Amino acid sequence: MKSQKKVSFPKKFVTPIANMLHEQLKRLERRKKQIDKEDPFKDTDRVTENTSLDDTAQEQFGHAQVTAVKEQLDRRMVQVRKALSMIKIGKYGICDDCGKMIETKRLMIEPEATFCMNCQAKREK
């Protein structure tokens, strides 16, 4: 039985990506806090105000928008954290499906990618 050689990117390639991902995570966290402040439901004055149905509908729409953006930010933060974890354990850049190395140019565009281009294309069919 052949032993499989461990596949990994060199540290000089991964370190700048890790630094960039840490910065990206900080930006995402700041954006989430900022967008949370824009939620009309967080306004304590709205409880005591007598507002028209139009205002209430607008507040609900605003809340739905904020919630959707926060969910997108949460998903993105999970992806970034997963990429950072993979870097930490030495498995960054390995496709979750086929186990081959993810193309470098793909990782440069989408550093939190977990699938190589072939496996991603199969998933999108």
> Mind listing the pLDDT tens digit for each residue in 65-88?
989 999 999 999 999 999 999 999
Query: Taking all residues of the chain, what is their mean pLDDT, rounded to a whole number?
Result: 85
Neighbours of 25 (CB within 10 A): 17
**What local confidence, expressed as pLDDT, does residue 5 receive?**
59
Statement: residue 52 has pLDDT above 80: no
Question: Token digits for 79?
Answer: 């992806």
Alpha carbon separation from 50 to 38, 42, 53, 58, 61 (Å, rounded): 20, 16, 10, 14, 18
Contacts of 71 (CB under 8 A, 6+ apart): none
